Structure 1
Amino acid sequence: MNAINELAPTGISSEWSPQWMLSPEQLALQAELIAVCMSTMRPNAIESDKKYIYPRKNFEALAAMGLLGLTVPKELGGRGESHLCAAMVVETIARYGCPSTAMCYTMHLGACAAALLRHHDNERLKAILKRVDKDVLIGTLSFSDPETGSHFWYPMSSRAERT
């Protein structure tokens, strides 16, 4: 834990760190992810910022680690990890790699979760989720509300009736 705090000494000190909540496997995943962030994502972030391009290479690195399916159930080809682990992965990416990638990754996780929540018995969706890491499939959510803009709760709070 001290090595992690030495790499990024900002924020909460180790005595208040949520690291104690992570399993040994999750701590090992975090250490591996930090190495990938430092060696791959950070240089890609610099390139993406300079060239104004989407951080696709960083998503390829996440897919190589099996992290695009982080919260996808194991029976659908994902890791089946908890929201705590997802929060750790997002924080690690933002802190050690690329904040833009962390934001896009959060939207991706939300898209996968929303798809599972709303369409969990859809065979086509299950087939897509099984390919998420292998084919570097990146999800996002897109809703619109003509009166106030885009809102993630739109499908739950609005409805239409054929007239």
Structure 2
Amino acid sequence: MKKEDMSNAQASEPYHSRLARLQATVASVTASDIAPRATEVDRDCIWPAHSMAALAQAGLLGLHVPQDLGGHGEGLLALSLLTEAIGQHCPSSALCFGMHCVGTAVIAAKATSYQRSAYLRKIAAGEHITTLALSEGGSGAHFYLPSTLMKPVEDHLEVNGQKQFVTNGSHADSYVVSVLDDSSEHHTGDFNCLIVDAETPGISWQGEWQGFGMRGNSSRAMQLDKATVPTANLLGEPGDQVWYVFEIVAPYFLMAMAGTYLGVAEAALNEARQHLKSRRHAHSGSALADHEVLQSRLASMWITVERTRSFIREAARKGDLGDPTALPFILASKVDAAETAVAITNEAMTLCGGAAYRENSRLTQLLRDARASHVMSPTTDLLKLWTGRALLELPLL
């Protein structure tokens, strides 16, 4: 089928059928290519190139690329569904894919003709991986306050600064970087976002990622020393960075992370359920599954996971529909997923007993990955603050 025929078919396909098709595709890719190497990714801190290649081959890198450019043109719900499916088996792969998707959504939001051709078409074709580079050491959880400076120099932009915790660091083909306008003619203090290509002169990478959890995401520090970026790579209009952060970055990032950590929680729940079903007491022969206390505790875990799933789905639907009440739902989605992931992995460790405490057991990995959810900016505390302010109809900042 030609690309234009595929785009027409996608456009006419019912929404739920599209989502079901995408879910089936990602489930197949996860089972064949991602899950079998999840232990290796965690154990050896390997950036999951195999996962990203398989997702590219399946046509999933263009999840948020418009259909007329060969992508799927999907929104928040699809993103949460796909990251959840991947996160159940390899949370690091889900994080890497999710951050690529967020970067793609940022580029697509106000893409120029050049950016559509140079980046979005390649992303849709599975030939280009992008990601975010927003966080900095001095700003902490306030990822929207960059100190990295950009100024026009002759026919290009010169960028100086350092970004921290860049997921897919040194492996992506481009990076969506937040900068502060430092024009020599007039220091406006405007925020901006721009696309920085991987081969840009002036980029260097600091150290290797050796994390406690999410060990495969290559979350590295990016140094920019007089990095020369084409003016055509500026996203939107001068001063648009705050708009990008709160209208695009925040909702897409929060949905990607909510889906990922929901996947972690579901994986831990499944580990606990399988343990109870398969283990028997040696002296009596009775199954752990026959104990009423354990049945009750498993039920509580399942209720928590399903409640979180429903909340995330509702938040994503509201966001995709442009519902005016969507903001607190979206902000709270990562909060709820984070708290659920940590609680469920902790409880699963208890239900599975000593078997779960083997070095680098499946639950050990899930517990370490779950814990990253609270400290990944915007942090749980900051999101709760914003949610409360949104409910009181106060400005977030």
TM-score, structure 2 length as denominator? 0.32
Q: Counterpart of 1:11?
A: none
Maintained 8 Å contact 2:57/2:126: no
Residue 120 of structure 1 pairs with residue 103 of structure 2:
no
Shift of 1:122: 4.3
Query: 2-side partners of 1:107 and 1:68: how far apart?
Result: 11
Q: Counterpart of 1:40?
A: 33
Maintained 8 Å contact 2:108/2:120: no
* Structure-2 change in CA distance of 1:59 and 1:42 (3 Å): same
Residue 26 of structure 1 pairs with residue 19 of structure 2:
yes
Query: 2-side partners of 1:115 and 1:38: how far apart?
Result: 30
Query: 2-side partners of 1:91 and 1:50: how far apart?
Result: 21
Alignment of 1:131-142 (within 5 A): 131-142=122-133
Maintained 8 Å contact 1:64/1:133: no
SS of the aligned residue for 1:140 comes to strand
Q: Percent identity, aligned pairs only?
A: 34
Q: Counterpart of 1:63?
A: 56
* Structure-2 change in CA distance of 1:109 and 1:38 (3 Å): same
Query: 1-side partners of 2:108 and 2:141: how far apart?
Result: 21
The match for 1:106 among 91, 94, 98 is 98
Maintained 8 Å contact 1:111/1:141: yes
* Structure-2 change in CA distance of 1:65 and 1:73 (3 Å): same
Instruction: Report how many residues are paired.
Output: 140
Q: Which has the higher helix share?
A: 1
Residue 153 of structure 1 pairs with residue 175 of structure 2:
no
Q: Counterpart of 2:257?
A: none
SS of the aligned residue for 2:47 comes to coil
Unaligned runs of 5+ in 1: 1-21
Q: Counterpart of 2:184?
A: 162
Q: Which entry has the higher C-alpha Rg, 1 or 2? A: 2
Q: Counterpart of 2:79?
A: 86
* Structure-2 change in CA distance of 1:157 and 1:53 (3 Å): closer
Superposed CA RMSD in Å reads: 2.6
Query: 2-side partners of 1:67 and 1:128: how far apart?
Result: 15
Shift of 1:111: 0.8
Query: 2-side partners of 1:157 and 1:130: how far apart?
Result: 25
Unaligned runs of 5+ in 2: 1-14, 147-177, 186-397
Q: Which has the higher strand share?
A: 2
Deviations 1:99-124, CA, capped at 9 Å, x for gaps = 1011111111111111223x511414
User: Which gives a bigger RCO, structure 1 or 2 (Cα 8 Å, sep 6+)?
Assistant: 1
The match for 1:143 among 134, 146, 155 is 134
